[in-house]
Amino acid sequence: MRTLYQTMYCPRCRKVRIALAEKKQEFTVVEEDTWNLRDEFLRINLAGTVPVLVDPRSDETNDSVTVVGSATIIEYLDEVYEGTTLLPGSVKGRAEVRRLQSWFDDKFAQEVSSRLIFEKMERRALNLGPPDMEVIRAALEHIHYHMELIGFLTEHRRWLAGDELSAADLAAAAHLSILDYMGDVPWHKYEAAKDWYVRIKSRPSFRPLLSDRIMGMHPARHYDDLDF
């Protein structure tokens, strides 16, 4: 069976879960607390990071294949499986999807989501004391610029990277979904971004995320409401 090693609140892992569902591929989840540096997991991925997909299917042999890192998993899924296309057919289109995927997985993560997740979730899990309110305030200020970008893109295109849904939408929605869980997305100020998010949130592939419940933290009231 296909296995995804992940952490529930990790946005890149959430992106991979949506992608697997868009590809209609079933998988078992292993919840991995990466800070435990579990020996068995380090043998699967020496870097100790999630997500990691172990897939019994591979192209030329019957070996299973271990795919490390969310961008690499996205490329892998599109190379191997039918279903929703995550990266479009044109060279230019793929470059645009990869640019925006990295925008959210790297830049948005660094400026907003990783900070909020660390301060509000990981600190508690790791017993690292109370959240740093200055860091939270800065992250919540940075979010506006990114919401404006989403608004701008979706006013000019049907989806973030073009006319079709792509890995760029999955990445952005995955990051926003965990912030939405914490009640940190200022939806009321960004109608176009909200419309786009409602469209993604309504997809069957997104549903399993909406039933996630993170230990010690209730979701915001509208988190699993498709019509918030």
Binding positions for a copy of itself, rule: CB under 8 A: 46-47, 49, 58-61, 63, 65-69, 71-72, 75-76, 79-80, 90-92, 94-95, 98-99, 102-103, 107, 149
The residue among 60, 28, 5, 66 whose CA lies nearest residue 208 is 28
Measured between alpha carbons, how far is 65 from 2 in angstroms, rounded to an integer? 10
Nearest distance, CB of residue 223 and a copy of itself, angstroms: 29
Q: Which is nearer to a copy of itself, 63 or 134 (CB)?
A: 63
Q: Please, are residues 10 and 50 in contact by the beta-carbon 8 Å criterion?
A: yes
Q: Which is nearer to a copy of itself, 80 or 125 (CB)?
A: 80
Q: Which is nearer to a copy of itself, 168 or 182 (CB)?
A: 168
Q: Please, are residues 86 and 74 in contact by the beta-carbon 8 Å criterion?
A: yes
Nearest distance, CB of residue 61 and a copy of itself, angstroms: 8
Nearest distance, CB of residue 91 and a copy of itself, angstroms: 4
Which residues does 206 contact at the CB level (< 8 Å), separation at least 6? 18, 21, 173, 177, 200
Nearest distance, CB of residue 130 and a copy of itself, angstroms: 26
Burial class of residue 178 (count of CB atoms within 10 Å of its CB; 0-12, 13-18, 19+): buried
Q: To the nearest 5 percent, what fractions of the chain are helix, strand and coil? A: 55, 10, 35
What's the token pair of residue 172? 């952005």
Q: Which is nearer to a copy of itself, 22 or 105 (CB)?
A: 105
Q: Please, are residues 103 and 142 in contact by the beta-carbon 8 Å criterion?
A: no
Say whether 55 sits in a helix, a strand or coil. Answer: strand
Nearest distance, CB of residue 153 and a copy of itself, angstroms: 11
CA dihedral 158, 164, 165, 168 (to 10 degrees): -90
Q: Which is nearer to a copy of itself, 102 or 123 (CB)?
A: 102
Q: Which is nearer to a copy of itself, 58 or 85 (CB)?
A: 58
Nearest distance, CB of residue 97 and a copy of itself, angstroms: 9
